[in-house]
Structure 1
Amino acid sequence: MALIKPVKGIEPQFGDNCYLSENAVIVGDVVMGNDCSVWFHAVIRGDVNAIRMGNKVNVQDGAIIHCTYLKAPTTIGNNVSIGHRAIVHGCTLHDNVLVGMGAIVMDHAVVEENVLIAAGAVVLENSRLEAGHIYAGVPAKKIKAISPETFKDTIERIANNYVMYAGWFKE
């Protein structure tokens, strides 16, 4: 069973049909929507500020979601995939976002809908990533636009796959 721990009397809250791996850690002021999954060695720390997650969010192996004390909560929309070993810290991710493996999104960054952040990219503090684009590099730069239909298909497919994968572990 995942480590689920209250901090300062506030317990994490989970929507319906969520999967939490045995060694995931979820603490404090975390509210998760429906059909979310938190995978092996992932950490979601709502100890110093609030973390709000929509529906069909998957937090893959070794990823970290955190925030900054009194300054930067973390808000994550629907159909968001947080890749293996990514760090999402004190920022806002709108709907249909993919944060690639090992990418970092820093405080007060705003990632609009239908954005793909490439593996290893670093989204600097206070950045705004425009909807419908791929961003890559250190620091992350806009690489190219992709049609909203293509993004929706890609992002939704990954989010739906993680709901399916979670079902395998619930059997």
Structure 2
Amino acid sequence: MTSRNPERPGVNIIPIHGKTPKIHDTAFIAPGCTIIGDVEIGAGSSIWYNCVLRADVFTIRIGERTNVQDGSVLHCDPPRPGDPDGCPLVIGDDVLIGHMAMVHGCTIHDRGFVGLGAIVMNKAVIGSDAMLAAGAMLTERKVMGERELWAGRPAVKLRDLPEPAIAGMRIGVAHYAENAKHHAKAVAAALG
């Protein structure tokens, strides 16, 4: 199944339960991605090759200039008895999510970072300018403060991040925003 939108060739956009993904015109969605249900993706964001964003039971919200790198899986959990708020997935602006990450029903504040292959579980929170290291697992309801580095399985705080690390993450955001423009042109030429 491919998108009915010719501007997004090779992307599976699937409405379910009366909800259709809302994707800003300036967002780059790479071929091979599947985006399902109540998903919103903000301006200048990029979802890279073979990601799955499945909002079939609740909501996924992604801010502006955020990137979700290749092979990542994003999901959420619905409200239930004893948990009327459920576990929406809320991702802010300028967030970096590394390749093959699993991000589920959590909150990632602006400029948060999720490393390669990391797992973020329900109701966990990653603060602004905070970094979850590659391969780490942030378990349910754990809260990372602003500018903190956490690592391990389960993840624990290692230290506060110095200014050069924060600057490096911001450079990464700018790189992905620019690189997404190049890929959008390349995909249009190859599949157009």
**Equivalent of 1:32 in 26, 31, 41:** 41
Answer yes or no: is 1:131 the counterpart of 2:131: no
Q: Any idea what the Cα deviations from partners look like across 1:36-77, whole Å, max 9, x if unmatched?
A: 111111011111110111101111111011001222000000
Q: In 2, are the aligned partners of 1:132 and 1:151 still within 8 Å (CA)?
A: no
**1 or 2, which has the higher strand percentage?**
1
Cα RMSD for the two superposed structures: 1.1
Name the % identity: 37
The alpha-carbon deviation at position 165 of structure 1 amounts to 1.2
Instruction: Please state whether the residue corresponding to 1:170 is helix, strand or coil.
Output: helix
Q: Which residue of 2 aligns with 1:164?
A: 178
TM-score of the superposed pair, with normalisation by structure 2: 0.85
Aligned pairs for 1:2-41 within 5 A: 2-41=11-50
Segments of structure 1 that go 5 or more residues without pairing to the other structure are none
Q: In 2, are the aligned partners of 1:33 and 1:53 still within 8 Å (CA)?
A: yes
Q: Which residue of 2 aligns with 1:115?
A: 130
Partner letter of residue 167 of structure 1? K
| Separation in structure 2 between the aligned mates of residue 116 and residue 77 of structure 1, nearest angstrom | 14
Answer yes or no: is 1:98 the counterpart of 2:113: yes
The alpha-carbon deviation at position 151 of structure 1 amounts to 4.5
Runs of 4+ aligned structure 1 residues displaced above 3 Å come to: 149-152
Segments of structure 2 that go 5 or more residues without pairing to the other structure are 1-8, 80-85, 186-192
Q: Tell me the matched-pair count.
A: 170
Q: Any idea what the Cα deviations from partners look like across 1:122-143, whole Å, max 9, x if unmatched?
A: 0000100011111100110111
Instruction: Please state whether the residue corresponding to 1:150 is helix, strand or coil.
Output: helix
**Equivalent of 2:161 in 139, 146, 151:** 146
Aligned pairs for 1:50-129 within 5 A: 50-70=59-79, 71-129=86-144
Q: Any idea what the Cα deviations from partners look like across 1:56-108, whole Å, max 9, x if unmatched?
A: 11111110110012220000001101110001100000011110000000000
Q: In 2, are the aligned partners of 1:114 and 1:151 still within 8 Å (CA)?
A: no
Q: From the CA coordinates, give the structure whose radius of gyration is larger.
A: 2
TM-score of the superposed pair, with normalisation by structure 1: 0.95
